[in-house]
Amino acid sequence: MAAAPSLAIDAPASALAEPILEIDQLQTHFFTRDGVVRAVDGVSYSLRKGETLGVVGESGCGKSITALSVLRLVPSPPGRIVGGAIRFEGQDLLARTEADMRALRGNDISMIFQEPMTSLNPVLTIGRQIAETLMLHQGLSRRAALARAVEMLTLVRIPEGERRIKQYPHQLSGGMRQRVMIAMALSCNPKVLIADEPTTALDVTIQAQILNLMQELKDKLGTAVILITHDLGVVAETAQRVVVMYAGRKVEEATVEDLFAAPLHPYTRGLMASVPRLGAALDERRHRLAEIPGMVPSLRGMPRGCSFAPRCRFASERCRTDRPELEAARPGHAVACWNWQAVLADRAPA
């Protein structure tokens, strides 16, 4: 099913409406001794220039693997991209050579990861780790690269850059390390930044700082961002459009406003309802934290029909036999559910 319906929307302002990155029916599978794990099973979405796209879903839904697939960093035994295309500026990345990909990584497309504690090399200085990319992709000399590294540190609001570049990761706090990661990722001014749960491992106050920083830099440098997270709050703050994933597939896509105003997929509904709200205990009707019953199915043996059906309270007979395709439920809002109308009509809190 083509990703088309979701794209013809009211794009934020400008004529920058063409997608810079298009993921088209991507399939990434893991071939283990005991079966094939379909981590990403036909996912399509696009990223437009200058926008922030949120990708939401719980652990195991394939959102991170999709991102790794873009850069072709999926651990290769046992994983393999078995189908689909990934178009960056029109060219299919899956057809490029490894050398081409290396020229792209850190340069046109960058990625930052969840664990700042372990994502930086403990035995190399900060300066070396930032300068490396600059020396590699922009051919700068060591001295020039280190000078630029200091500039980047200032950009991410780390003071005393000259001193910091000689330090090692263990001498920095978690928040600072993530800033360094951001500095590293943005040093060559990439067109796309993929941020895989960048704030999950950080304290709440630091989270806000990092998100603001990313927003600021994004506006300044014009980078398009894919923000992967399981935290709806983060998405609400920073993204323009959102993709919801479940069990290796995309189940809903909309602008942030539309999604929060009227979620159409039962899973999205469930996600939103399960966010604890301050003061909820005082509310007579909902003093119990709502949950989505059941568990995510094993990606090895998916049920026939809709993969969410076993846990869905809107599930009908058809849901158990036929896998729902994405359809444009409303302008700019796509959903993969047979009963989305029922979900929409059901205004009662979950």
Partner 1 sequence: MTAASLDDVAEIAIARPVSLREIVRRHPMVVAGSLLLLAMVAMAVFAPYLGTVDPQALSPVRRLRPPGAQYWFGTDMLGRDVYSRVVYGARISLTVGLSVAVLSTAMGLAIGLVAGFSRPVDAIVMRVMDGLMAIPAVLLAIALMALTKASIENVIVAVTIAEVPRVSRLVRGVVLSLREQPFVEAARATGTRVWKILVRHILPNTLAPLIVQGTYICASAIITEAILSFLGAGTPPNIPSWGNIMAEGRSLFQVAAYIILFPGMFLSITVLAVNLVGDGLRDMLDPRLARRM
Partner 2 sequence: MFAFLIRRILATIPVMGVVALFVFSLLYLSPGDPAVVIGGDTATPADIAHIREKLGLDRPFLVQFGTWLWNVVRGDLGISIFTNLPVSRLILQRVEPTIALTVCTLIVTIAVAIPMGVIAAWKVGTWIDRLVMAFAVLGFSFPVFVTGYLLIFGLSIWADLLPVQGYVSIANGLRAFLPNMVLPSLALGMVYTALIARITRASMLEVLSQDYIRTAHSKGLGTSQVLLGHALKNASVPIVTTIGIGLALLISGVVVTESVFAIPGLGRLTVDAILRRDYPIIQGVILVFSAAYVLVNLLIDVCYTFLDPRIRY
Q: Give contact residues for partner 2 (rule: CB under 8 A).
A: 71, 73, 77, 101-107, 110-111, 113, 115, 118-124, 132-133, 136-137, 168, 170, 181, 184
Give 63 or 241: the residue with its C-beta nearer to partner 1: 63
Question: Is 110 a binder of partner 1 (CB under 8 A)?
Answer: no
Least separation, in Å, of the C-beta of 73 and partner 2? 6
**Binding partner selected for residue 118 from partner 2, partner 1, none, CB under the kind-specific 5 to 8 Å limit:** partner 2
DSSP 114-175: S-HHHHS-TTS-HHHHHHHHHHHHH---HHHHHHHHHHHHHHTT-S-HHHHTTS-GGGS-HH
Find the binding residues for partner 1 in span 18-47 (CB under 8 A). Answer: 30, 32-35, 37, 39
Q: What are phi and psi of 143, to 5 degrees?
A: -65, -45
Q: Which amino acid appears at position 182 of this protein? A: I
**Binding partner selected for residue 178 from partner 1, partner 2, none, CB under the kind-specific 5 to 8 Å limit:** none
**Binding partner selected for residue 62 from partner 1, partner 2, none, CB under the kind-specific 5 to 8 Å limit:** partner 1
Question: Is 299 a binder of partner 1 (CB under 8 A)?
Answer: yes
Give 207 or 229: the residue with its C-beta nearer to partner 1: 229
Q: Of 6, 46, 64, 129, which lies in the binding site for partner 1, with binding defined by CB under 8 A?
A: 64
For residue 12, what are its two tokens?
């934020």
Least separation, in Å, of the C-beta of 70 and partner 1? 14
d(CA 7, CA 15): 13
Strand partners, 254: 242
CB 41 within 8 A of CB 251: no
Map residue 104 onto helix, strand or coil: helix
Question: Is 294 a binder of partner 1 (CB under 8 A)?
Answer: no
Angle (CA) 63-21-177 rounded to 5° is: 55
Q: Of 62, 116, 305, 324, which lies in the binding site for partner 1, with binding defined by CB under 8 A?
A: 62
d(CA 79, CA 73): 10
Tokens 């998100």 belong to 211
Least separation, in Å, of the C-beta of 20 and partner 1? 24
**Binding partner selected for residue 65 from partner 2, partner 1, none, CB under the kind-specific 5 to 8 Å limit:** partner 1
**Binding partner selected for residue 279 from partner 1, partner 2, none, CB under the kind-specific 5 to 8 Å limit:** none
Give 144 or 280: the residue with its C-beta nearer to partner 2: 144
**Size of interface with partner 1, in residues (CB under 8 A):** 24
Least separation, in Å, of the C-beta of 29 and partner 1? 11
The bridge status of strand 224-229 relative to strand 192-196 is parallel
Q: Of 142, 300, 304, 313, which lies in the binding site for partner 1, with binding defined by CB under 8 A?
A: 300
**Binding partner selected for residue 180 from partner 1, partner 2, none, CB under the kind-specific 5 to 8 Å limit:** none
Q: What are phi and psi of 91, to 5 degrees?
A: -100, 140
Map residue 178 onto helix, strand or coil: helix
Least separation, in Å, of the C-beta of 146 and partner 2? 16
d(CA 164, CA 127): 7
**Binding partner selected for residue 105 from partner 1, partner 2, none, CB under the kind-specific 5 to 8 Å limit:** partner 2
Taking each helix axis from N to C terminus, what angle separates 126-138 and 142-155, rounded to the nearest 10 degrees? 120
Q: Of 7, 53, 61, 165, which lies in the binding site for partner 1, with binding defined by CB under 8 A?
A: 61
Tokens 């989505």 belong to 292
13: exposed, middle or buried (Cβ count in 10 Å: 0-12, 13-18, 19+)? exposed
Q: Which of 74, 118, 113 is nearest to 193 (CA)?
A: 113
Question: Is 164 a binder of partner 1 (CB under 8 A)?
Answer: no
Give 26 or 112: the residue with its C-beta nearer to partner 2: 112
Least separation, in Å, of the C-beta of 132 and partner 2? 7
27: exposed, middle or buried (Cβ count in 10 Å: 0-12, 13-18, 19+)? middle
Residue ranges that bind partner 1, judged by CB under 8 A = 30, 32-35, 37, 39, 59-65, 68, 75, 78, 113-114, 196, 248, 298-300
